[in-house]
Amino acid sequence: MKLWDKGISINEQIEKFTVGRDREMDLFLAGPDVMGTIAHCIMLGKVGLLSSNELHTLRIALSEIYREIGEGGFLIEEGIEDVHSQVEYNLTKRLGDIGKKVHSGRSRNDQVLVDLRLFTRDSLITLSQSVKKLFDVLQVQSETYKNVLLPGYTHLQIAMPSSFGLWFGAWAEALTDDMLVLQSAFNINNQNPLGSAAGYGSSFPIDRRLTTQLLGFDDLNYNVVYAQMSRGKVERIIAFALSNLAATLSRMANDLCLYMSQNFNFISLPTELTTGSSIMPHKKNPDIFELIRARCNRIQALPFEITMTMNNLPSGYFRDMQLIKESFLPVFDEMESILELATFMIKNVIVNESILDDPKYNNLFSVEAVNEAVLQGVPFRDAYKMLGQQIADGTFSPSKQLNHTHEGSIGNLCNEDIHRKFEAVYASFAATKFDEVKKALIEYPG
């Protein structure tokens, strides 16, 4: 079945190429497609294009199809082009001519747009919950190890004292900014394109504000041409937000790979969380961190892949956009897997609590000695030269007592303030609100 079928057969080779992986990819969109169809039908009923009995019958059938999707009983059959065709086919098979009425006032173009918006909204809410789990673990580890020092590096050279409290806490605050970017992308995504039809609106008296309210969107994409132009653009914006998060996770994983090496020996992992070598019996490899790094680096390529697909397309719809789904839809499961493993591994990291006992780290404390001399009245530049000479002569003998009290320093991590920032952003994803939207549409009493 094809929604555009006019009774003329299409070349089999052409059909196979144009359908591509749509039947596989569209399974991600099945639930959202039913939700969008319910809202559309309610609107059609309001404007007189469906009778109350027809709407009642359609809502019961659509709620049943939604339950089948949740139970894994929904398939896109061979010969049916996409999820939109399958949902309409299922309705028509059950209800006859009533099922043929649900497409009035819309196109596959705005159907897939609204499906993508609803799928992405749910996926970002779930993702925010996974980011929060990692954030919470990082904050716990920051507090647990706040008094354990480790070397800070610049240029991969020993620089100044740091701490595991600072290190774990740094990644927690990094996630806070990543969530701000995700929040912005979430808000752009949460606008209603339904009713733009093929990109030029409809002569039916549709009510786009009603579907906006029913589907829980914050606002409309008002201009119907822009609503269609947003296809690909919104996915690219979301991909950049995901890429930003992936960059944080990749860099953290790289630190962990370095810190596990014998040359650093800052952390270790329980043996059962490492892998071995086929010929070297001593090996305990941090493969999880390496794969997190590689997977995140691959995700960072996604916005550029979408950009190259969309580059130089004129306004209006083009089939090029179909290919974006193949990379975009699965990326959320990939991010979920990465976050789950990262959270688990961070929770099980074993910290070396005596790193700075090694005399090779003595020079870390040179800045502390310079500052102490300045506090005793020595001009800073003179103190700097004096300590530089002691280091050159091999006579520098540091005190390893630290007195860092300003906000965000070793002695004042400000984890509570970082937590406050994170929670303010996290609250904006409002999972409960959208659960209620879904429930109101799907749980129809009949």
At CA 148, angle to CA 142 and CA 150, rounded to 5? 100
Return the closest-CA partner of residue 327 out of 14, 28, 3, 39: 28
Enclosing H/E stretch for 192? strand 191-192
Contact 148, 163 (CB under 8 A): yes
pLDDT digits (tens, 9 = 90+) for 280-293: 888 888 899 999 99
The pLDDT tens digits of the residues spanning 297-334 come to 999 999 999 999 999 888 888 878 888 999 999 999 99
- Residue among 199, 197, 194 nearest 209 (CA): 194
Which pairs count as long-range contacts for 137-141, CB under 8 Å and 24+ apart, including other chains? 137/343, 137/346, 137/347, 138/168, 138/169, 138/171, 138/172, 138/175, 138/346, 139/168, 139/169, 139/172, 139/415, 139/418, 139/419, 141/168, 141/346, 141/347, 141/349
SS3 52: helix
The string of DSSP letters for 113-181 reads HHHHHHHHHHHHHHHHHHHHHHHHHHHHHHHHTTT-EEEEEETTEEEEEEEHHHHHHHHHHHHHHHHHH
Which are the contacts of 116, defined by CB distance < 8 A and separation ≥ 6? 29, 32, 231, 234, 235, 325
Express each pLDDT in 76-110 by its tens digit.
988 888 899 999 999 999 999 999 999 999 999 99
User: 390 Cβ partners below 8 Å, 6+ apart?
Assistant: 396
Per-residue pLDDT tens over the stretch 115-173: 999 999 999 999 999 999 999 999 999 999 999 999 999 999 999 999 999 999 999 99
Question: Is the C-alpha dihedral spanning 234, 240, 245, 246 positive or negative?
Answer: positive
Who contacts 379 (Cβ-Cβ below 8 Å, separation ≥6)?
A: none
Report d(CA 240, CA 307) in Å as an integer: 10
In whole angstroms, what is the distance from residue 309 CA to residue 68 CA?
A: 34
Q: Just list the catalytic residues.
A: 155, 277
Say if residue 2 is exposed, middle or buried (CB neighbours under 10 Å; 0-12, 13-18, 19+): middle
Q: What's the pTM value of the predicted model, to 2 decimals?
A: 0.92
Check residue 4 and give its pLDDT: 42
Separation CA 210–CA 43 (nearest Å): 7
CB contact at 8 A, 32 and 120: no
pLDDT (tens digit per residue) in 191-207: 999 999 999 999 999 99
Spatial distance between the Cα atoms of 37 and 31, rounded to a whole number of angstroms = 10
Domains of the chain: 12-101 (1.10.275.10), 110-148+161-193+223-356+414-430 (1.20.200.10), 358-413 (no CATH)
Query: Which amino acid would we find at residue 31?
Result: G
pLDDT of residue 11: 59
What's the rounded mean pLDDT across residues 250-261? Answer: 96
Closest CA relative to residue 103, chosen from 124, 89, 117, 115? 89
Query: The tokens 């190429």 sit on which residue?
Result: 17
Using DSSP, state whether 427 is helix, strand or coil: helix
Q: Take residue 170 and report the two structure tokens written for it.
A: 């740094």
For all residues of the chain together, what is the average pLDDT? 92
For residues 82 and 419, the model is more confident at 419
Element (H, E) at 350: strand 350-351
The residue among 335, 415, 331, 306 whose CA lies nearest residue 128 is 335
pLDDT band at 435 (very low <50, low <70, confident <90, very high): very high
The pLDDT of residue 10 is 63
